[in-house]
Every structure is written in structure tokens, then in C-alpha cells.
């Protein structure tokens, strides 16, 4: 089933899919909007294969990068006012846009479903325990059709046979990349690694 054929029940979000697309396109560059639609497409394919709720997956995919182009200053304020882990302040947008995005979409679109919120919250560095929708968004973000990097074919093949294997692959590859760049690693990324790569 094509994404255009999904009708939102208004059970999880206060608008239609068309209105959501419009709202999302207004907070990001055209390039990122193409990425977001690619994530929805990849996520819906995974939802079909692994039996996840298509409406929730569509909403989570379209909203996963909602905070990506927010100003750092506004994001810092949200981290503080929402009593998030203050260690976050030592990192940046790459980590923040997941947890801050979850707050923004709750406020703007009245999303309260924990599976959708957790999928948005955790898509940046994963989490030791991820439910099906979180897993789908984490992997769809990595393999969506516009992605092109060394290993993408293997990641796409793995996602077709095992979400868990695909998560292990993506997590290991991302961590290796960060270590080679000598950047600071957010501790939960290590927890995700321990849970999904070491203990798979």
C-alpha cells in the first residue's frame, strides 16, 4: 500500500497526513524534506514486513526530524525547561533533535502515543530497549532510498531478513565512524551498542 493511501484516524495526531506533510515541509530544507519522505517510504515497507501499525509508523517517520533545523538556543531552553538529562547540553543538534523533537510534536500536534514519541526521541542514538516502531524508524532513517554510502546495500539486505541484525550493523558502523572522527560519544550510544551489537 502506498503512503498516499494512508488515512489518519485522528487518534494519534490532530491533523491529516496532507496537513502534516505541509507542516513538516515548513520547518526544514527541501533536501531534508525529501529525506523525511524517503524515511516514511522505507518505514512503511518495514511496517508491512514486520507487522507494525502503518499509521503510527507514517506519523513517526514524517515527524522524526521535526526539530533538526531548530535553533540551538531554543533546543537548549527546551532541554532545561523539560528537565531532560543536563549532560545533553555538552552535545549538539545531532543528539538533541530526537528528544527535543518528541517535545515539539507533543506540543504542536498533540502526539501522546508513547511508541511514536519514543521512535522520534530515540532515532538519533537508539536505546538499549526499542520497541518495533522505534526499531523501524531507526533503520528506515539509515536505509531510506536517498541514502548512499559504503555498506548501504548490506544494510538494506539485512533489514529485509532481520531488523535486529540491521540495527546491530547500523549501530556498529555509526559508532566506528564517530570514534574515527575523535568526537565525544553520548553515553546512551554506548548503551545501544552494548545491547544491540555485543549481545545480539
Chain contacts with Fe ion (rule: CB under 5 A): 65, 141
Q: How far is the CB of 169 from Fe ion (least distance, A)?
A: 17
Cell digits of residue 21: 506533510
Distance in angstroms (rounded) separating the CA atoms of residues 104 and 102: 6
Q: How far is the CB of 10 from Fe ion (least distance, A)?
A: 25
The phi and psi torsions of 105 (rounded to 5 degrees) equal -75, -25
Distance in angstroms (rounded) separating the CA atoms of residues 199 and 116: 26
Of the pair 7, 69, the CB lying nearest Fe ion is at: 69
Of the pair 140, 163, the CB lying nearest Fe ion is at: 140
- Residue 120: which residues within 8 A CB-CB, separation 6 or more? 60, 63, 64, 66, 98, 101, 102, 105, 137
The label of the residue with cell 536517498 reads 146
Distance in angstroms (rounded) separating the CA atoms of residues 98 and 87: 15
Of the pair 88, 199, the CB lying nearest Fe ion is at: 88
Q: How far is the CB of 91 from Fe ion (least distance, A)?
A: 14
Q: How far is the CB of 141 from Fe ion (least distance, A)?
A: 4
Q: How far is the CB of 144 from Fe ion (least distance, A)?
A: 8
Of the pair 9, 37, the CB lying nearest Fe ion is at: 37
Of the pair 134, 141, the CB lying nearest Fe ion is at: 141
DSSP state of 3: G
Amino acid at each position: 500500500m502506498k503512503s498516499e493511501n494512508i488515512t489518519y484516524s485522528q487518534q494519534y495526531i490532530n491533523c491529516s497526513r496532507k496537513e502534516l506533510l505541509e507542516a513538516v515541509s515548513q520547518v526544514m530544507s527541501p533536501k531534508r524534506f525529501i529525506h523525511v519522505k524517503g524515511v516514511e517510504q522505507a518505514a512503511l515497507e518495514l511496517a508491512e514486513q514486520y507487522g507494525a501499525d502503518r499509521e503510527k509508523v507514517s506519523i513517526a517517520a514524517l515527524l522524526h526530524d521535526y526539530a533538526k533545523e531548530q535553533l540551538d538556543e531554543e533546543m537548549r531552553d527546551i532541554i532545561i525547561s523539560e528537565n531532560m538529562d543536563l549532560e545533553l547540553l555538552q552535545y549538539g543538534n545531532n543528539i538533541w533533535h530526537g528528544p527535543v523533537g518528541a517535545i515539539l510534536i507533543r506540543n504542536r500536534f498533540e502526539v501522546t502515543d508513547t511508541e511514536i514519541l519514543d521512535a522520534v526521541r530515540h532515532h538519533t542514538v537508539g536505546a538499549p530497549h526499542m520497541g518495533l516502531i522505534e526499531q523501524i524508524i531507526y533503520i528506515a532513517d539509515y536505509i531510506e532510498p536517498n541514502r548512499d554510502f559504503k555498506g548501504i546495500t548490506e544494510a538494506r539486505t539485512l533489514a529485509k531478513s532481520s531488523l535486529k541484525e540491521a540495527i546491530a550493523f547500523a549501530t556498529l558502523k555509526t559508532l566506528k565512524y564517530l570514534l574515527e572522527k575523535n568526537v565525544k560519544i553520548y553515553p546512551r550510544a554506548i548503551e545501544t551498542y552494548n545491547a544491540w551489537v555485543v549481545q545480539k
